[in-house]
């Protein structure tokens, strides 16, 4: 069996972001990213600081670890990263999860297509706004939505844009305008990734959530949108592995 670079496996927890927010889930976080967002809250997956944590695992080994941690108490697994879409051979893991009736979520930025995306129940595509320092490849992004548009309606895809400033907000609107049929989420950006003062962080993030909501309320051009915080940041702050 081929191996997958895994940097952490954790859960059960709740999905703190986007289209299935609140969902009880396990997480598998793959190592490596083709981006280097200025504000990445998981930079240990690609900046070398988490190198010692990377384990090459077979799909069977990942499944064993999920069972060891979660027992029979989960029915959903979220694969995030890094960018899981860098990994071609996620097929075996996906097959094992499906054999066990586990629903699958994936978090990726829309910079790469993989065939296994056809089989993901809840696929979140999160293109990166200007504040990240990254540039969007619209050919790849459009190709992903084009390929996924005829899937069975039990499968879902969404767009989730993190917003830090006005330029990000304008970018998000432009993305929504390009792909109006894709369910569209705005997410509050966390600009304090190192604090351990959760009480202060929570107040700060709620202030930012408030400001983003106000902006959307006033904006007649943005109608079909869901505005969310990172729920896990409000519950656990910057703690890793939750």
Ligand X SMILES: Nc1nc2[nH]cc(C(=O)O)c2c(=O)[nH]1
Ligand Y SMILES: C[S@@+](CC[C@H](N)C(=O)[O-])C[C@H]1O[C@@H](n2cnc3c(N)ncnc32)[C@H](O)[C@@H]1O
Task: Enumerate binding residues for ligand Y (CB under 6 A).
Answer: 33, 39-42, 80-83, 107-109, 126, 160, 162, 187, 189-190, 193, 230
Residue of 36, 49, 142, 195 that binds ligand SF4 (CB under 6 A): 36
The structure tokens listed for 20 are: 């299935």
The structure tokens listed for 13 are: 């927890």
Ranges within 203-242 binding ligand X (CB under 6 A): 232, 242
Does residue 136 bind ligand SF4 (CB under 6 A)? no
Q: Which stretch binds ligand X (CB under 6 A): 9-17, 158-166, 188-196, 213-221?
A: 9-17
Cβ atoms of 51 and 5 closer than 8 Å: no
Residue 78, CB half-sphere, CA atoms under 13 Å: how many? 28
Establish whether 41 is an annotated binding residue.
Answer: yes
Q: Which stretch binds ligand SF4 (CB under 6 A): 15-23, 36-44, 57-65, 220-228?
A: 36-44
- The values of phi and psi at residue 48, to 5°, are 95, -20
Minimum distance of ligand SF4 from residue 106's CB (angstroms): 12
Helix axes 59-70, 91-99, angle to 10 degrees: 40
Nearest to 120 by CA among 100, 98, 135: 98
Q: Which residues are annotated as a binding site for substrate?
A: 14-16, 29, 80
Q: Which residues are annotated as a binding site for [4Fe-4S] cluster?
A: 33, 37, 40
């Amino acid at each position: 069996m081929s191996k997958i670079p895994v940097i952490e496996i954790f859960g059960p927890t709740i999905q703190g972001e986007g289209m299935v927010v609140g969902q009880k889930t396990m997480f598998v976080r793959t190592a490596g990213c083709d981006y280097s967002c200025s504000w990445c809250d998981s930079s240990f997956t690609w900046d070398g600081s988490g190198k010692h944590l990377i384990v090459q695992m077979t799909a069977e080994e990942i499944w064993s670890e999920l069972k060891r941690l979660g027992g029979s108490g989960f029915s959903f697994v979220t694969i995030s990263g890094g960018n899981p879409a860098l990994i071609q051979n996620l097929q075996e893991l996906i097959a094992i999860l499906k054999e066990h009736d586990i629903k699958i979520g994936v978090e990726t930025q829309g910079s790469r297509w993989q065939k296994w995306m056809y089989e993901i129940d809840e696929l979140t595509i999160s293109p990166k706004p200007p504040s990240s320092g990254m540039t969007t490849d619209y050919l790849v992004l459009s190709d992903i939505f084009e390929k996924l548009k005829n899937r069975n309606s039990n499968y879902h895809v969404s767009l989730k844009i993190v917003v830090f400033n006005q330029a990000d907000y304008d970018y998000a609107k432009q993305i929504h305008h390009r792909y109006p049929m894709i369910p569209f989420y705005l997410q509050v950006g966390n600009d304090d990734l190192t604090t351990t003062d959760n009480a202060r962080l929570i107040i700060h993030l709620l202030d930012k959530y408030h400001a983003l909501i106000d902006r959307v309320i006033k904006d007649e051009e943005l109608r079909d949108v869901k505005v969310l915080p990172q729920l896990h940041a409000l519950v656990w702050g910057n703690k890793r592995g939750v």
